């Protein structure tokens, strides 16, 4: 079991947990997702990037030399609860649900050419993913962002 701490560790999410990875990003966890990689490659990435490996593979989770969290639950809400119980709540803003990139605030002028016209007309605050360029705005398709903003 990983140590508890104020700062949640970076995570490496294994195959079959892609939906969990996206949900954790909503919640502000640094959750990289890889699939179709052999176990040894996952272990190497987890070590090199100092990430906690989150997996449904009990054998993999039990390997020596890697910090891992075994997720027995099959239901998303339970999976999220297991992660939070193990590593603590995230204190960070949401990350890009698509690629796990950091989100940075951009101006309306910057966002205008990147979003649908009705959004440009009705919204004033936008964030953009540093990695893939996707733009998000409050109250849109992204409840995680709204939740975070309301909590501030
Ligand atoms: Zn992104």
24-63 pLDDT, tens digit each? 998 999 999 999 999 999 999 999 999 999 999 999 999 9
Distance 16 CA to ligand 1 centre (A): 20
Distance 152 CA to ligand 1 centre (A): 23
Report yes or no on 1 lying in a domain. Answer: no
77, 18: one domain:
yes
User: Mean pLDDT, to the nearest integer, of 13-25?
Assistant: 95
How many domains is the chain built from? 2
Residue 3, classified by CB atoms within 10 Å of its CB into exposed (0-12), middle (13-18) or buried (19+), is exposed
User: Mean pLDDT, to the nearest integer, of 74-89?
Assistant: 95
Distance 116 CA to ligand 1 centre (A): 18
Q: Tell me the CATH number at 48.
A: 3.40.50
Report yes or no on 92 lying in a domain. Answer: no
Distance 93 CA to ligand 1 centre (A): 14
Distance 97 CA to ligand 1 centre (A): 7
Residue 103, classified by CB atoms within 10 Å of its CB into exposed (0-12), middle (13-18) or buried (19+), is buried
Report yes or no on 138 lying in a domain. Answer: yes
Distance 18 CA to ligand 1 centre (A): 15
What is the model's pLDDT at position 1? 43
What is the model's pLDDT at position 133? 95
Question: Can you tell me the distance from the alpha carbon of 72 to that of 143, in angstroms, rounded to the nearest whole number?
Answer: 26
Report yes or no on 6 lying in a domain. Answer: no
What is the model's pLDDT at position 5? 46
What is the model's pLDDT at position 8? 80
Distance 63 CA to ligand 1 centre (A): 31
Question: Can you tell me the distance from the alpha carbon of 15 to that of 36, in angstroms, rounded to the nearest whole number?
Answer: 7
What integer best gives the mean pLDDT of the chain? 88
What is the model's pLDDT at position 92? 87
Q: Which residues pair with 33 in a beta bridge?
A: 13
- Identify the domain containing residue 79 by its residue range: 11-87
77, 32: one domain:
yes
Question: Can you tell me the distance from the alpha carbon of 95 to that of 26, in angstroms, rounded to the nearest whole number?
Answer: 6
Distance 148 CA to ligand 1 centre (A): 18
């Amino acid at each position: 079991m990983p140590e508890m701490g104020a700062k949640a560790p970076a995570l490496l999410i294994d195959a079959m947990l892609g939906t969990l990875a996206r949900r954790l990003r909503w919640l502000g966890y640094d959750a990289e997702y890889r699939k179709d990689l052999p176990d040894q490659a996952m272990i190497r990435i987890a070590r090199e990037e100092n990430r906690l490996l989150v997996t449904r593979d009990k054998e993999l989770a039990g390997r020596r030399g890697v910090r891992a969290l075994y997720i027995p639950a099959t239901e998303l809400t339970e999976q999220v609860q297991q992660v939070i119980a193990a590593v603590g709540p995230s204190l960070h803003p949401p990350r890009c649900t698509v690629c796990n990139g950091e989100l940075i605030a951009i101006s309306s002028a910057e966002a205008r050419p990147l979003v649908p016209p009705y959004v440009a007309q009705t919204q004033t605050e936008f964030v953009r993913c540093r990695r893939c360029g996707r733009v998000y705005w409050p109250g849109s398709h992204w409840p995680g962002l709204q939740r975070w903003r309301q909590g501030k």
